[in-house]
Amino acid sequence: MNTKIDNLESCLVLSNGVRIPCVGFGTRQTPSGDVARDSVRKALEVGYRHIDTAAAYGNEVSVGEGLRLSGVKREDVFVTTKHWTDSRGCKQTVAAAEKSLMALGLDYLDLYLIHWPAVEKISPDWASLNADTWQGFEKLYRDGKVRAIGVSNFLPEHLEALKATAEVMPMVNQIEFHPGYMQNDVVDYCRANGMLVEAWSPLGCGRLLSDPLVEKIAAAHGKSAAQTCVRYAMQHGHLPLPKSVHAERIASNAEVFDFALTDKEMAVLDAMPETGFSGFHPKDAPAG
């Protein structure tokens, strides 16, 4: 299904045929203003062609500025943003997407994601809240405002419920994924249902970068711990979204095409003890 992956322009292919560059630049916790603008511009300058943001990050305006200042053509960049929990429902979702488009200064998105599922803990109607929101996503998709639609932080139970009413199934599930937090049940569900897994916090939010096991494997390849973690997600067939605001890290985190982890190294990283998660657990997803 996928073509050769040997640089930042190499693409994976979503279930609807849309091509998605194999490493994305993450902007979670990147402050709006100069920092977001300049880091996005830097990422595009060193060759990233996929930028991931969210309404809740509060940096869409600056991300849009960075896109424009980079001089890279709109059609050559894959842009994802996410719908926040305060806009659940069909109409609200369409309005939220329009607001994000306006903030980014774009007239279409490449990928739009439900940031967090509505969950049992929030409302007994969680399943219909997600279904209504998803109707908005399907409308945006049909109207050509977004080239692909998906979810983030959905567990199999949330996806299974969505399946009951969805006319178009999500093409992507963006979840936290890194050594020590692999969410195998979610990954298996996504694989079986044709959804690409995107890995947020592939560096474990920075925690893995001083892990002796990761450092040892990295040293064996003359690579950094960060590059090792990005490569690890890629070799699992996932799409990593490393985040940094530092120019040299932005560049080096993407130098992941000149080495490969061995099966044994992959197995060692797979077996790492749980290092915990970096945001909410989906069962405790934010209410909005």
Please list the active-site residues: 57
Distances (CA, A) of 224 to 22, 81, 188, 229: 19, 29, 29, 9
What is the pattern of x (binds ligand A2P, CB under 6 A) and - over residues 61-100? ----------------------------------------
Quick check: 174 binds ligand A2P (CB under 6 A)? no
Q: Is 46 in the site for ligand A2P (CB under 6 A)?
A: no
Per CB under 6 A, which of residues 138..167 are in contact with ligand A2P?
A: none
Scanning 106-114, 135-143, 244-252, 265-273 for contacts with ligand A2P by CB under 6 A, the matching segment is 244-252
Report the Cα 103 to chain-centroid distance in Å.
19
Q: Beta-carbon neighbour count of residue 274 at 10 Å?
A: 9
244 binds ligand A2P (CB under 6 A): yes
Q: Does 26 bind ligand A2P (CB under 6 A)?
A: yes
Q: Which is nearer to ligand A2P, 141 or 200 (CB)?
A: 200
The residue within the footprint of ligand A2P, chosen from 18, 209, 251, 266 (CB under 6 A), is: 209
DSSP 8-state secondary structure symbol assigned to residue 236: T
Q: Which stretch binds ligand A2P (CB under 6 A): 52-60, 71-79, 95-103, 243-251?
A: 243-251
What is the nearest approach in angstroms of ligand A2P to the Cβ of residue 42? 11
Binding flag, residue 179, ligand A2P (CB under 6 A): no
The minimum distance between CB 94 and ligand A2P, in angstroms, equals: 30
Instruction: Give the Cα separation of 117 and 88 in Å (integer).
Output: 10
The closest alpha carbon to 133, from 103, 173, 93, belongs to 93
Q: Does 203 bind ligand A2P (CB under 6 A)?
A: yes
At closest approach, how far in Å is the CB of 111 from ligand A2P?
18
Contact with ligand A2P (CB under 6 A): which of 90, 168, 169, 245? Answer: 245
- Strand 11-13 to 19-21 pairing: antiparallel
d(CA 44, CA 39): 9
- Which residues have CB under 8 Å from 56's CB, separation 6+? 82, 84, 115
Can residue 133 be called a binding residue for ligand A2P (CB under 6 A)?
Answer: no
Say which residues have a Cβ less than 8 Å from residue 14's Cβ, sequence separation at least 6: 20, 148, 171, 172, 196
Q: Does 204 bind ligand A2P (CB under 6 A)?
A: yes
Nearest in space to 43 (alpha carbons), one of 54, 58, 30, 61:
30
Task: Pick one of 33, 107, 121, 206: the residue that binds ligand A2P (CB under 6 A).
Answer: 206
Interface region with ligand A2P, contact rule CB under 6 A, candidates 48-56, 121-129, 197-205, 212-220: 197-205
Q: Residue 113 or 159: which CB sits closer to ligand A2P?
A: 113
Q: String of b and e for 189-201 (b: at least 16 CB within 10 Å)?
A: bbeeeebbbbbbb
Any contact of residue 249 with ligand A2P (CB under 6 A)?
yes
User: DSSP readout, 138-205?
Assistant: HHHHHTTSBS-EEEES--HHHHHHHHTT-SS--SEEEEE-BTTB--HHHHHHHHHTTPEEEEESTTTT
Using CB under 6 A as the binding criterion, the count of chain residues that bind ligand A2P stands at 18
**Residues forming the site for ligand A2P (CB under 6 A):** 26, 201-206, 209, 224, 226, 242-246, 249, 252-253
